[in-house]
Structure 1
């Protein structure tokens, strides 16, 4: 298969036992026109490392499992940089990818505002688009051409709230969330789960998305002496800055539990955060520490492919890896032909064993169904910190869609 991708010390592995689409198992495909996949990612600016992680994961899938799935169907990745949360830039890039570059599929999209902005273009162009990370609950309702292999904050944070006030017995919560669409979803979802089990929200405070100083926000939270501080921010480099402030303010020594979605202690940032993260509890769909055969093979393949980079795979890598798997499954199901309706129908039938566990696409919403893991940062052998999975909530659908069907 010709992908036009270069990966250092590539190792071809028969990695993961993906469930084939019904009726397509073992079907061969003749070589034909190259299928172009356009990825819109943040490859510059303060969140460039996240975009690079997703680009690496997408390439890794094509160079390993994708080869076996696609056979002789040639695929080309066309990666474009949106520079961050820039809806106008995202629209321009999608317009160019569709009209100039002739892409047959779209993927990527770290930012919900960017993903939401391109929905009218998808509706006109009828191009399937897989969301690797954008997590706004209503995004997939904006166009029938979306599918999602990421998560929604309702899917992660409502179960976390129920666990915190139910299983953990925490009664009073102080909320700190970044002031943009995913932060609003995180706030509302955690609130619903926490209060459903008898918890009380002491205060809910929004933080700016750009270069926030977390210290005054955490000081104000400490003054209220809640049982728990729930926090959400966009992750990446902000994870280390937040945890430094958390340590400086002394929330843990004051007996206040810090919890939140996986962005708080994302795997790639744990080495930078250091011991400040110990004991922090998060909910998420992926952890490098997950004790699953497919996860161990995924990490081995990542290390073999990217020996030049110290960056570790995280939840964004899982979203991009599985997103490319979903796109390649649709390409296989359509024999590489440009048949968008058939591609979307194939995506609705998708199910696989992923590094994060069993996954499938909900045919009603085109959102992912997946396990949500409650994790605690613990020190493992060699003094390495890890998000250790301590409880599994299986096969979680997006609860926002259940409450807000079309």
Structure 2
């Protein structure tokens, strides 16, 4: 602990010294941390695409300042490595802003660096609601599991679901999903038949699905991380014919367009809740999808990760404008509290109290859209304020 505090003191002195020498840099550096290799490299690819599209459209400029993005690979769930990379970016590479994070443990590992050096970190992905409490320099542009889980349950309850099972991956966002699903469902008068935790990396879901079948619920509320576990579970649900027993599947990120080719027609009809769909028909999203396809190919579709990255650059640009390009973490964070703009995902803003994004959540159904599977929005929960902070004010205030 002593070494950590000593290092951070040296880091803070270094940053302050740099600021005094060069109060107005010729270029502003942004450190981007993501999963650029390994099984979760989809996140890094989509971050890169969203950031590069923003840079192209804005000619890498905010006013007279030129933005330079330095990319670093977190290398999986690796808090120690992520913290080291964040330290190096701030102290050695002199970045003024950090963006990224794909897993909650990695984001938490950067809290001391962000706080002690007063470097804003715009969080692209971390589903655990309490994360923004860990540093006053954290701002989230992604989403929390509570944000999408509460509308999902409310929608299911409105359709007559009374008895439900919950199945989640066994790690922090999964625990948030359990709490959000169960608390919301019980408030709506529903009963939880069974809660099932599935170890990360699981490929055989038969025993877990059998527990659900035995509980005889009306519905199953699901949370799995994007990728193989999501695709595998949705396929197994259909292959084991749980739908034919009257159990309806409700999910969030489990039918991402990137996973639908692997899931196939097993996904048809699945209801999900999420803050974005590439099939939103708003003018802003239509333009965004067109630009994305023009840059990355006619078969490419933007995702929650690329939209988050694009919007994160919008937030960072607002900070740069407010500070006139100077290094001032406090002024930068103050400038985005309450900041509102029109995103491809819809109207969004940063909650001044929590630094969480306020956004629409869309109820979506997997359909065949122009010959390809996709998530078609069918209902909208407008301007959802992060629910965990709302329903747990005493915990959030600590």
Question: Structure 2 length normalisation: TM-score?
Answer: 0.90
Counterpart-to-counterpart distance in 1, 2:152 and 2:277: 16
- Secondary structure of 1:332's aligned partner: helix
Q: What is the rounded CA distance, in whole Å, between the counterparts of 1:324 and 1:380 in structure 2?
A: 30
1:265 is paired with a residue of what secondary structure? coil
Residue 276 of structure 1 corresponds to 266
User: Superposition RMSD on alpha carbons, in Å?
Assistant: 1.6
Distance verdict in 2 for CA 1:68–1:333, change over 3 Å: farther
Q: Distance in 2 between matches of 1:67 and 1:401?
A: 37
Per-residue CA shift, 1:64-113, capped at 9, x if unaligned?
A: 1x349713311111111111111111111111111111110001101111
Partner of 1:330: 319
CA contact (8 A) 1:35 1:104 kept: yes
Equivalent position of 1:320 in the other structure: 309
For the residue of structure 1 that corresponds to 2:129, the secondary structure is coil
Residue 347 of structure 1 pairs with residue 336 of structure 2:
yes
Q: Is the 8 A contact 1:133 1:320 kept in 2?
A: no
**Alignment correspondent of 1:56:** 49
Aligned positions, number = 371
**Is the Cα contact below 8 Å between 2:55 and 2:61 reproduced in 1?**
no
Match of 1:197 among 188, 199, 204: 188
The match for 1:19 is: none
Task: Measure how far apart 1:286 and its partner are.
Answer: 0.1
Moved more, 214-223 or 362-371: 214-223
Greater helix content: 2
Question: Does the CA contact (< 8 Å) of 1:153 and 1:185 recur in 2?
Answer: yes
Please list, as runs of the form range in 1=range in 2, the aligned pairs for 1:257-406 lying within 5 A after superposition: 257-261=248-252, 263-307=253-297, 310-381=299-370, 383-402=371-390, 403-404=392-393, 405-406=396-397
Q: CA deviation at 1:244?
A: 2.1
Determine which of 161, 164, 177 is the counterpart of 1:170: 161
SS in 2 for 1:387: strand
1:55 CA displacement: 1.4
- Once the two structures are superposed, residues 173-221 of structure 1 have per-residue CA deviations (whole angstroms, 9 ceiling, x without a partner) of 1111011111111111011111111110001111112244223212321
* CA apart distance, 1:311: 4.5
Query: CA 1:67–1:332 in structure 2 vs 1: closer, same or farther (change >3 Å)?
Result: farther
Is contact 1:270-1:385 (8 Å) kept? Answer: yes
Aligned-pair CA distance for 1:223: 2.5
Q: 2:37 aligns with which of 26, 44, 49?
A: 44
CA distance in 2 between partners of 1:349 and 1:231 (Å): 32
Q: Please name the residue that 1:97 is paired with.
A: 89
Q: Describe the superposition over 1:249-276 as per-residue Cα deviations: whole angstroms up to 9, x where unpaired.
A: 1122222100121x11112222332211
Instruction: Determine if contact 2:120/2:332 at 8 Å carries over to the other structure.
Output: yes
Query: 1:11 aligns to what?
Result: none
Deviation, 1:366, is 0.4
Q: CA deviation at 1:53?
A: 0.9
Which residue, 87, 99, 113 being the options, matches 1:107? 99
Q: In the alignment, what sits opposite 1:9? A: none
Q: CA deviation at 1:239?
A: 2.5
Distance, in Å, in 2 between the alignment partners of 1:220 and 1:305 is: 46
**Residue ranges of structure 2 left out of the alignment (5+ in a row):** 1-23
Secondary structure at 2:115 match in 1: helix
Gap change, CA 1:83 and 1:211, over 3 Å in 2:
farther
* Cα distance, 1:375 vs structure 2: 0.9
Distance 2:384 2:268 in 1: 27
